[in-house]
Each structure stands twice: as C-alpha cells, then as structure tokens.
Structure 1
Amino acid sequence: MAGLVVAGLAATPASAEHDCNVPLADWQPREALQKKLEAEGWTVLSIRSDDGCYKVRATNPQGARMKAKFDPARLERVPDRDDD
C-alpha cells in the first residue's frame, strides 16, 4: 500500500510541467509567437492565453490542424496532458 502512495506523489511534479508559471511582466507579445511559428511554416489560426500559457490553434507545414501550448516567456512548446 505504501508503494501506491509514493507512486502517486512521484507523479505530481510531472503534471506541473504542463502549466506555465511566468510573471505577466516576463511574457513576450503574441505577435512574437506568431512570427516564430510562421517562420517554422505554421499557419496560425488563433493565439489565446489560458492556464498561464499561450494556447495556439494552427495548421502545421503539412496542413494538419494543431493545438499546442507555449511558454509565454521562452515561446517554447509545453507538453500537453495528452502528450504523456
């Protein structure tokens, strides 16, 4: 039984990786993220803020629809809960 409790606690930090904890003063503008993604071949449909992250709806260079989360300071992709 103790092993289950330890396993449950070990999983907690991993879920924190999915949230962005960036002070608003450190956020880059949405336009910077859009420009970065368009340079990578994405077609950005929308960018909104949610859970402290930027959430993007776009199509990738192959034309597939994408939903992705980005850190608003580093503009790097954040793993989604579904990516685990």
Structure 2
Amino acid sequence: MKTPLIIAGAIAILSPAAAFASDDCPNVPRDQWMSDAAITEKAKGMGYDVRSIKVDDGCLEAYAMDKDGRRVEVYFHRGTGEVLKVSEDD
C-alpha cells in the first residue's frame, strides 16, 4: 500500500516542473523584482499581448497571446526579466 505513494512522491519530486522551479527561478528579494508593467513592456517588445501576470514556481508568469494568436505562458526571471520558458497555455 505504501509503494504507490512512494512512487507518486518520487515522480512529483523528479518531475521537470520541480526542476524548473528550483533551477531557473531563484529566490529573489521582493524589492528586486521587476514590476508587472516592466514585464508587460518587455513581453510587448517581444511580440506578446499580455493578458495577466502572476507568480508561479518562483517566476513571473505572463499569460499572453503570441504573434500567431496562440495562448502562451511566458516565464520571466523575477529580477532580470530574462525569458526562461515559453509554453502553450492548456
């Protein structure tokens, strides 16, 4: 009975999302975060139409439309604004 729980826990720990959060989105003090407005402008310059921004897995995550009209999630480093990942929104 404990084996399925152990396996599920191992999968959760070793999942790409867990690795993504810890490796690519380091802990940055709140006073060093880029503002939502700055992230929106940066994304706009890259061709994204930002709909909303939230903090997710340590990154600033922008929900946006790309230049082809697809919904995407763009993950930005909170301190530098570097794009760390772009994925299609489910």
Q: Secondary structure at the match of 1:68?
A: strand
Name the structure, 1 or 2, with higher relative contact order (CA <8 Å, separation 6+). 1
Tell me, in whole angstroms, the C-alpha distance in 2 between the residues paired with 1:63 and 1:14. 26
Q: Secondary structure at the match of 1:17?
A: helix
Query: What is the CA distance between 1:70 and its match in structure 2?
Result: 0.9
Tell me, in whole angstroms, the C-alpha distance in 2 between the residues paired with 1:75 and 1:60. 18
Q: Moved runs in structure 1, 4+ residues, more than 2 A?
A: 13-16
8 Å contact 2:63–2:72 — kept in the other structure?
A: yes
Q: Deviations over 1:25-83 (max 9, x none)?
A: 11111100001111121110110113321011101111111012111111012247xxx
Q: 1:16 aligns with which of 11, 22, 30?
A: 22
Instruction: Show the counterpart of 1:46.
Output: 52
- In structure 2, give the amino acid aligned to 1:43: D
How many residue pairs were aligned?
70
Q: Does 1:78 align with 2:88?
A: no
5+ long unaligned stretches in structure 2: 1-13
Instruction: Show the counterpart of 2:33.
Output: 27
- In structure 2, give the amino acid aligned to 1:56: A
